[in-house]
Chain A
């Protein structure tokens, strides 16, 4: 009995240190979420002004740009999957990968081949393990993405989108799968089509008083559109990365919180068992002593 008591004590100690670690990770994730949300807010003015400008050009000129052109017979689609670099975030990565698999399945059913682009080590590892080819992967920034990586990803996707059909590496559609940050408790994996662009997103409908003025475009509407649209695409990707970062941290916080709670439960359970074992040990010792005393008393009584 004494051995198992020691074992239980060791288990309690290791669970306690595990609890300390998960608790620390929970706190770290919680403090980073605030930063991630601030970054998302700081990036909002840019996205808002850009959307405004794009819809201004779209309203006052005939939008006919390679980036908005629908291919008549789309054969290949690129899918950018935004996952995390590290695990310990509950079902975060697996749910976004599941959503991506659904999208890939649907695209295949429509008769399109799928090129995969990955952001985040978890996604990279997932496809590597399954021996499925990935066109390009970017890693190392999932919890605090910078605009530079968004620009790089955007440039790569635009480049393959703009290639002519039949050319090596051409894609006719670009989709993005990321996790949308609804609230601290709810994050949902979302798939959106990025290219060809559908100009004027319905997210913020301009109110009646917010009529767009008659702009002069310099040097020309086409040139302005040429400059704007790639930036618009990159800003959308940046938005997706920021949302994914906030979601990842929220998921991690939640996962670590439940891990801490579980550790608490375990410690309680082990403490009870250890106490029982200790008590049983004491009881046995007492009964041994009592038994011994009785035996001695009996022996003495017999000899007298």
Chain B
């Protein structure tokens, strides 16, 4: 058994973050899930929300993901999302503008999705800060 979780946060076109962590918190469609060492193998769908990764030494990283899924097996955690951004890469002002633009979209479903995506990014920055 490894001492820490091996975490990989992967977007469709790049590896966003990878390394060792003590804990991962993500929001699945059924609610928040926290993953520590020795977690049972799990495959679960994520919603548009934030993912928190606690590193052993420093504070950790926060990222915003748009859907995707998390898979846990043998202390390896892979978080896959078509789009994933780290909190430090997020432009808060742009996210806030997106949020405003999103609430103006007429189609309620599309609007809700866009709002969730913008909110996830803003929350990621707030959590990191």
Contacts and interface: CB of A to CB of B under 8 A. Distances in A.
B13 interface: yes
Interface string B26-70: 001110010000001111110000000000000000000001110
A235 B12 contact: yes
Interface stretch (A7-15, A39-47, A161-169): A39-47
Nearest to A151: B82
A224 interface: yes
Contacts of B40: 216
A226 B122 CA distance: 28
Given A49-B78, A50-B80, A215-B73, A227 B67 contact: yes
Contact of A219 (B10, B45, B83): B45
Contacts of A42: 13-15
B25 interface: no
B41 A213 contact: yes
Q: What band does the interface of chain B fall in when counting residues whose beta carbon is under 8 Å from A?
A: 20 to 34
B12 A215 contact: no
A45 B8 contact: yes
A231 B10 CA distance: 13
Contacts of A50: 80
B42 A218 contact: yes
Contact of B71 (A43, A56, A235): A56
A216 B43 contact: yes
Contact of A218 (B12, B30, B83): B30
B62 to A, nearest CB: 20
Interface residues of A, number: 31
A228 interface: yes
Nearest to A214: B41
Contacts of A223: 29, 45
Given A53-B80, A147-B82, A224-B43, A218 B28 contact: yes
A31 interface: no
A39 B15 CA distance: 11
Nearest to B29: A219
Given A50-B80, A213-B41, A215-B43, 6 more contacts: A39-B13, A49-B8, A216-B43, A218-B30, A218-B43, A227-B67
Interface of B: 8, 10-15, 28-30, 33, 40-45, 67-69, 71, 73-74, 78, 80, 82-83
12 contacts: A43-B14, A53-B69, A53-B80, A147-B82, A213-B73, A216-B40, A216-B42, A216-B44, A217-B44, A219-B44, A234-B12, A234-B82
Interface of A: 39, 42-43, 45-46, 49-50, 52-53, 56-57, 146-147, 150-151, 212-219, 223-224, 227-228, 231, 234-235, 238
